[in-house]
Amino acid sequence: MALLDILQSIIPIALFYSAPLIFTALGGVLSERSGVVNIGLEGLMVMGAFVGIVFNLTFADVLGAATPWVSILVAAIISALFSLLHAVASVSFRADQVVSGVAINFLAVGLGVFLTKQWYGKGQTDMVSQPFYSSNVPILSDIPVIGKMFFAGAYYTSYLAIGLAILIWFVLYKTAFGLRLRSVGEHPMAADTNGINVYKMRYIAVMLSGALGGLGGSVFALTIALNFSGSTIVGQGFMALAAVIFGKWHPIGALGAALFFGFAQSLSIISSNIPFLADVPSVYLIIAPYVLTILALAGFIGRAEAPKASGDPYIKGSR
Amino acid sequence: MFTNRLFNILVPLISVFLGLLAGAIIMLAFGYNPINGYQALWNGAFGSGYFFGETIRQVTPYILTGLAVAFAFRSGLFNIGAEGQVIVGWVAAVWVGSSFEAPMIIHLPLAVLAAAFAGALWGFLPGLLKATKGVHEVIITIMLNYIALHVSNYMIRHVLSDGGDSSDPIANSASLASDWLMQITEYSRMHYGILIALFAAFIMWFILEKTTAGYEFRAVGFNPDASKYAGMNVKKNIITSMIISGAFAGLAGAMEGLGTFGYMPSHSAFTNLGFDGIAVALLGGNTGLGIVISAFLFGALKVGALNMPTTAGVPSELVEIVIALIIFFVASSYIIRWALLRLRKEEK
């Protein structure tokens, strides 16, 4: 049963670490599917983490146990508004989308730390008093073997992330809205000819990616970091971007990639408890997810083709 | 009518102006005096020999990472991995610099070249995968950034020192530091690397504008398919471009290892030199001269910002916001052009 024990300790940690990546990567999928490259995922996560923590610290006394849930909701809304900057630049101002995304990344960190210093007088906030706690899912966690693996000591946010991935898959591939969103990213002129408002669809997609990035950032902050500073989000947004590409711009693919990253991360965390991994120098386990990703992309995943119009501003009337 | 050339100069200038203006508005909104704030910034960057020397010290790696990002941009590639290439370059330079002693005329060039080579290797891999397998270079370079960060920390602990948090110091014969430069700048950490950086900018301009290879890089950047039909070897160009880009970034690592620090500390997070290089390249319009100018601006902003909290009480992150807004305005150059043309029309 050794293997089962190992799985029982790895899977909850993997789910825990993947959740923020799943949210953010889903945002990336939506934005890129509509034809807007979003390098700014990192910045959207920073904004989400900042808002999530500040809201949590401010309203913990009033809202009590509901605080973390309201916090991530508020973080999602504010980040969606923040991503409007990226939308305006890349859709209306025809900006280079990569450049505008880079600006979002810089702006979020600058704004977050500036306001933190302004409001708290130091470079980082206090620890939140109302973070998310792990819990056993009633009934389901009593199922033998599987229950302990997937439903014990878990965070509800992880299930929310997986649920959203399925929901977004459904919306993208089974509804008219999803078809329109994808068509705008593949061939905006054809979509326009068919009466789809390209600009509107892209605005919606970018703002949804802002909301999801904000969710990802705030979930990271309220489950893992528990406070905000300039080094709370360092690279998770880029990992999410990698998950988008790894998952071939598909919501379920991105979910799988994010889960894989989380799993690889958890290996390096609990390796000391696993007999055959305990003697491996930790550096190998730490870099394992990145090396495996490169190998996977070079080996069997193969060509990753972005949505056709991804990165091109749509200019009405041009050919 | 405005010429394109004039636009290319006006747009960055207007962007910088708008960025600083927005910074002033933010300072006003939070109850600071923007004049005091910017005065502190200016003094912090140029107010004394020491500050000026520190500004040049910061500009040096910025030029090189800016060149790295720009060179890849010009051939249609996005090298987000300058960060990792800086780190491996730093490790290589310090490794060569600290493991033996040799006459300076051999040792110093060797250490610098080692850094360029390490960076080039780190750029070669994504170039190769992009060219042969069509794997997106952004994802590979992101992954390589993390690998560089963690492997370098491991090497500092186990190879470059005896379990310490920073590497052994480099030998004097591999150092770019100069007593003379330090003395005239009131003991700042300015070093001879700035000459290497400026020379690299010249090399970049020369390769891209004056050689056939450079013409091919740019052609591939504009339209890989057309270049292929014209008989160019697109794959070779992609790989070579990433190698050159990586070498520039590796050199930036050498500047830190051989010039500013003289050793390599272990890093808990990225140096940000590579990411800032993206901003430098964008504002500089991806040209050699433009990058030198924009690296100078960002270096001055970054170093000057450190003086803002102490003299004007303004958090130094204000400068980060200003930089972000400058990039944002550069990105939105279409709207600036539109506004300029509009103004022009109304004058008539």
Residue A99 CA, chain-centre distance (Å), reads 20
Q: Which residues of A touch B26 (CB under 8 A)?
A: 114
Residue with tokens 């630049």: A89
Residue A57 CA, chain-centre distance (Å), reads 23
CA distance A145 to chain B (A): 35
At B283 the pLDDT is 87
Q: Closest residue of B to A285, CA-based?
A: B150
Higher local confidence (pLDDT), B79 or A5: B79
Q: Which residues of A touch B134 (CB under 8 A)?
A: 302-304
Instruction: Establish if A54 belongs to a structural domain.
Output: yes
A106 touches chain B (CB under 8 A): yes
Encode chain A in three state secondary structure.
Answer: CHHHHHHHHHHHHHHHHHHHHHHHHHHHHHHHHCCCCCCCHHHHHHHHHHHHHHHHHHHHHHHHHHHHHHHHHHHHHHHHHHHHHHHHHHHHCCCCHHHHHHHHHHHHHHHHHHHHHHHHCCCCCCCCCCCCCCECCCCHHHCCCHHHHHHCCECHHHHHHHHHHHHHHHHHHHCHHHHHHHHHHHCHHHHHHCCCCHHHHHHHHHHHHHHHHHHHHHHHHHHHHCCCCCCCCCCHHHHHHHHHHHCCCCHHHHHHHHHHHHHHHHHHHHHHHCHHHCCCCHHHHHHHHHHHHHHHHHHHHCCCCCCCCCCCCCCCCCC
B332 touches chain A (CB under 8 A): yes
Contact criterion met (CB < 8 Å) for A297 and B30: no
**Model confidence at A300, in pLDDT bands (50, 70, 90)?**
low
Mean of pLDDT over chain A: 87
Residues of chain B numbered 23-62 and touching chain A (CB < 8 Å)? 26, 30
pLDDT at A145 over 80: no
Mutate to test the interface with B, among A246, A290, A292, A295 (most CBs of B within 10 A): A290
CA distance B331 to chain A (A): 5
At B332 the pLDDT is 83
Instruction: Establish if A144 belongs to a structural domain.
Output: no
| Cβ partners under 8 Å of residue A169, min gap 6 | A250, A251, A252
**Model confidence at A293, in pLDDT bands (50, 70, 90)?**
confident
Contact A98, A37 (CB under 8 A): yes
CA distance A304 to chain B (A): 6
| Rounded CA separation A108/A114 (Å) | 10
Q: What percent of chain A has pLDDT over 70?
A: 95
Instruction: Establish if A167 belongs to a structural domain.
Output: yes
For A180, the domain range is 2-127+159-301
Nearest beta carbon to residue A114 from set B78, B133, B315: B315
At A309 the pLDDT is 78
- Written as tens digits, the pLDDT of chain B (348 aa) is 456 777 778 888 899 999 999 999 999 999 999 999 999 999 999 999 999 999 999 999 999 999 999 999 999 898 989 999 999 999 999 999 998 888 988 999 999 999 999 999 999 999 999 998 888 888 889 889 999 999 999 999 988 888 888 898 998 888 888 888 888 888 888 899 999 999 999 999 999 999 998 898 888 888 888 888 888 888 999 999 999 999 999 999 999 999 999 999 998 888 889 989 998 998 888 899 999 999 999 999 999 999 999 889 899 999 999 999 998 888 888 788 888 888 877 765
At A272 the pLDDT is 67
pLDDT at A302 over 80: no
Nearest beta carbon to residue A294 from set B138, B143, B321: B143
CA distance A128 to chain B (A): 23
Instruction: Establish if A90 belongs to a structural domain.
Output: yes
Contact criterion met (CB < 8 Å) for A290 and B146: yes
Q: How large is the average pLDDT for residues A133-151?
A: 76
Nearest beta carbon to residue B315 from set A107, A118, A235: A118
Residues of chain A numbered 32-91 and touching chain B (CB < 8 Å)? 39, 85, 89-90
Residues of chain B numbered 67-96 and touching chain A (CB < 8 Å)? 78, 80
Q: Which residues of B touch A104 (CB under 8 A)?
A: 324
Instruction: Establish if A230 belongs to a structural domain.
Output: yes
B143 touches chain A (CB under 8 A): yes
At A173 the pLDDT is 95
Contact criterion met (CB < 8 Å) for B334 and A94: yes
At B17 the pLDDT is 94
At B239 the pLDDT is 95
Per-residue pLDDT reduced to its tens digit, A169-227: 999 999 999 999 999 999 999 999 999 999 999 999 999 999 999 999 999 999 999 99
Q: Which residues of B touch A21 (CB under 8 A)?
A: none
B139 touches chain A (CB under 8 A): yes
Overall number of domains in chain A: 1
Higher local confidence (pLDDT), B326 or A281: B326
CATH of residue A293's domain is: 1.10.3470
Pick the most confident of A59-68, A102-111, A288-297, B87-96: B87-96
CA distance B152 to chain A (A): 10
Mutate to test the interface with A, among B150, B158, B272 (most CBs of A within 10 A): B150
CA distance A280 to chain B (A): 13
At A319 the pLDDT is 60
Mutate to test the interface with A, among B73, B139, B151, B306 (most CBs of A within 10 A): B139
Contact criterion met (CB < 8 Å) for B332 and A93: yes
Instruction: Establish if A316 belongs to a structural domain.
Output: no
At A202 the pLDDT is 95
**Model confidence at A305, in pLDDT bands (50, 70, 90)?**
low
* Rg of chain B on CA atoms, in Å: 21
Contact criterion met (CB < 8 Å) for B325 and A103: yes
Contact criterion met (CB < 8 Å) for A111 and B138: no
Contact criterion met (CB < 8 Å) for A241 and B334: no
Residue with tokens 């809304």: A77
At A306 the pLDDT is 73
Count CB pairs under 8 A between chains A and B: 137
Nearest beta carbon to residue A234 from set B270, B327, B330: B270
Residues of chain A numbered 116-145 and touching chain B (CB < 8 Å)? 117-118
Q: Which residues of A touch B318 (CB under 8 A)?
A: 110, 114
Nearest beta carbon to residue A110 from set B145, B317, B331: B317
pLDDT at A7 over 80: no
At B195 the pLDDT is 94
Instruction: Establish if A12 belongs to a structural domain.
Output: yes
Contact criterion met (CB < 8 Å) for B324 and A106: yes
**Model confidence at A308, in pLDDT bands (50, 70, 90)?**
confident
Nearest beta carbon to residue A117 from set B270, B315, B334: B315
**Model confidence at A230, in pLDDT bands (50, 70, 90)?**
confident
The residue type of A113 is V
A306 touches chain B (CB under 8 A): yes
Instruction: Establish if A148 belongs to a structural domain.
Output: no
